[in-house]
């Protein structure tokens, strides 16, 4: 079992046995809370997902955590934190399980085509400088089973690995990986190490995908992830485009 060996992230953890949403709470306290503080809930009663959806957060079964970050970057760079988190989660789970964990750009971590982790990044600040960024990570760890409507799309480490995993150990592994990639990015200004991982463990590169932006739908082949963390797609006829991770949903064709 490894120990937390970070310099900035996770030395101060605020733990709740039950909380509405760690992201909501993190936003409430972010202004007076230092960089690197992590909020963890044993359950969330109003867990939030992307695009206004909810996030099922049963007691004792998952990892529901939010990292408060205060980097010197503009909000336009904020989406990079999501990718750092996805890469860190993928590596963290891989270091503890032998599962084939992949990253579905921009912010899902999947196993056998089903979602095991979601990331919700939220921020506030001025045009040229964020005040804070909250990176919320939700992982289905020891969830025995899903409600019928989620069964097709969602899975847990327990279901895939057929054993229980220590959430504590996994949190430590993820925070260690997160800080390495985060510091790499902050020090170099480049997302390169994160992108390498996102490409190595990509669930979609080389595949035909559907990209849904508002009510616009594009079918294309995912060909690359750029240094900036954008998805490069090739449409029929070869026309290439870059997709920004904002409000998009990407599905298999």
Q: Which residues bind ligand BTN (CB under 6 A)?
A: 21-23, 44, 47-50, 53, 55, 64-66, 118-120, 136-138
- Does the annotation flag 166 for ligand binding? no
Q: What's the burial of 130, exposed, middle or buried (CB within 10 Å: 0-12/13-18/19+)?
A: buried
- Does the annotation flag 23 for ligand binding? yes
Q: Which is nearer to ligand BTN, 137 or 171 (CB)?
A: 137
Look up residue 89 and give its two tokens: 């989660």
Q: Which is nearer to ligand BTN, 85 or 221 (CB)?
A: 85
With contact defined as beta carbons under 8 Å apart, do 101 and 109 qualify? yes
Residue 234 C-beta: closest distance to ligand BTN, Å: 26
User: By beta-carbon distance, which residue lies closest to ligand BTN?
Assistant: 118
Q: Pick from 91, 122, 94, 119: which is nearest to 105 by CA?
A: 119
- Laid out side by side, the sheet with 240-243 consists of 240-243, 231-234, 216-225, 208-213, 248-252
- Does the annotation flag 210 for ligand binding? no
Decide the pairing of beta strands 216-225 and 248-252: unpaired
Distance CA 133, CA 181 (A): 16
- Does the annotation flag 22 for ligand binding? yes
- Does the annotation flag 129 for ligand binding? no
Residue 49 C-beta: closest distance to ligand BTN, Å: 3
Q: Which is nearer to ligand BTN, 53 or 164 (CB)?
A: 53
- Counts for the chain of helices (H) and strands (E), in that order: 6, 12
Report the run of H or E that residue 225 belongs to, with start and end: strand 216-225
- Does the annotation flag 50 for ligand binding? yes
Q: Which is nearer to ligand BTN, 40 or 221 (CB)?
A: 40
Residue 66 C-beta: closest distance to ligand BTN, Å: 5
Residue 41 C-beta: closest distance to ligand BTN, Å: 7
Residue 50 C-beta: closest distance to ligand BTN, Å: 4
Q: Which is nearer to ligand BTN, 147 or 206 (CB)?
A: 147
With contact defined as beta carbons under 8 Å apart, do 218 and 209 qualify? no
Residue 198 C-beta: closest distance to ligand BTN, Å: 16
Q: Which is nearer to ligand BTN, 46 or 227 (CB)?
A: 46
Rg from Cα positions in the chain: 17
Helix (H, G, I), strand (E, B) or coil at 243: strand
- Does the annotation flag 42 for ligand binding? no
Cα distances from 165 to residues 14, 42, 157, 159, in angstroms, run 22, 15, 8, 11
Annotated binding site for biotin: 21-23, 44, 48-50, 115
- Known binding positions: 21-23, 44, 48-50, 115
């Amino acid at each position: 079992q490894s120990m937390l060996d970070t310099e900035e992230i996770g030395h101060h953890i605020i733990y709740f046995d039950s909380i509405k949403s760690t992201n909501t709470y993190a936003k409430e306290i972010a202004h007076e809370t230092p960089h690197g503080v992590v909020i963890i809930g044993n359950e969330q009663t109003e867990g939030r997902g992307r695009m206004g959806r909810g996030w099922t957060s049963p007691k004792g079964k998952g990892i529901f955590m939010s990292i408060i970050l205060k980097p010197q970057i503009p909000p336009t760079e904020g989406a990079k934190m999501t990718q750092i988190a996805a890469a860190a989660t993928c590596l963290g789970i891989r270091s503890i399980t032998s599962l084939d964990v992949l990253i579905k750009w921009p912010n899902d971590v999947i196993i056998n085509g089903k979602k095991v982790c979601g990331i919700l990044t939220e921020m506030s600040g001025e045009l040229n400088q964020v005040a804070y960024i909250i990176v919320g990570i939700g992982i289905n760890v020891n969830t025995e089973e899903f409600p019928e409507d989620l069964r097709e799309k969602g899975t847990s480490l327990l279901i895939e690995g057929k054993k229980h995993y220590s959430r504590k150990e996994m949190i430590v592994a993820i925070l260690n990986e997160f800080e390495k990639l985060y510091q790499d990015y902050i020090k170099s200004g480049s997302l390169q190490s994160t992108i390498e991982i996102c490409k190595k463990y990509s669930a979609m590169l080389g595949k035909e995908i559907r990209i849904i932006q508002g009510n616009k739908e594009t079918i294309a082949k995912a060909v690359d992830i750029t240094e900036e963390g954008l998805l490069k797609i090739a449409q029929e006829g070869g026309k290439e485009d870059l997709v920004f991770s904002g409000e998009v949903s990407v599905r298999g064709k």
